[in-house]
Amino acid sequence: MKRPILLHPDPRLKKLCTPVSDMTDDLRSLGDDMLATMYDAPGIGLAAPQVGVLERLIVLDCVKAEGEAPRPLIMFNPEIIASSDETSVYEEGCLSIPEHFADVTRPAEVQVRWIDRDGKEHTEEMGGLWATCVQHEIDHLDGKLFIDYLKPLRRQMITRKMTKLKRELARDKP
């Protein structure tokens, strides 16, 4: 089931999310719903707070090549356990901040640990777009948005534009 995506500014996007302590059918369904929402948007990552749930859950699928099989990941309690000194710069966007993009510098490679929907623990080294995406989504779980990496003036400008967009969208609703 597709869920509505919260738009910045929204106080829920700035909250620290609580760890998932017990794998429930509701949480598994939430993960499935988040994947459906992410693919529909379309996006390559989505964090639970973006759909109004303040728990440590992200989904991603950074396979973009035509004809390549998708690789959907549902990650409960994801954490970066190691990161490279080498950095990379990617132009990032966010489903909660549509139409806005900016270059963000992050570690080029990370090692991530998480629990899957069956309760099994995984550890994986990620690089390139996967590394950027997983770091971006984990930031969401800590109440941090990609615009928080920008200079204050640029961040304020984007926030003002998003506030205006939310007012327009609210006005257009029947």
**Local confidence pLDDT in tens for the 174 residues of the chain:** 899 999 999 999 999 999 999 899 999 999 999 999 999 999 999 999 999 999 999 999 999 878 889 999 999 999 999 999 999 999 999 999 999 999 999 999 999 999 999 999 999 999 999 999 999 999 999 999 999 999 999 999 999 999 999 999 888 876
Which strands sit side by side in the sheet containing 73-83, from one edge to the other? 45-47, 57-60, 73-83, 109-115, 121-127
Is 55 one of the annotated active-site residues of the chain?
A: no
Which residues face 88 on adjacent strands? 106
Candidates 55, 79, 86, 137; catalytic one: 137
> What CA–CA distance (Å, rounded) separates 22 from 64?
33
Degrees, nearest 5: CA angle 165-35-19: 90
Other beta carbons within 10 Å of 8: 21
Please tell me the predicted confidence (pLDDT) of residue 40: 95
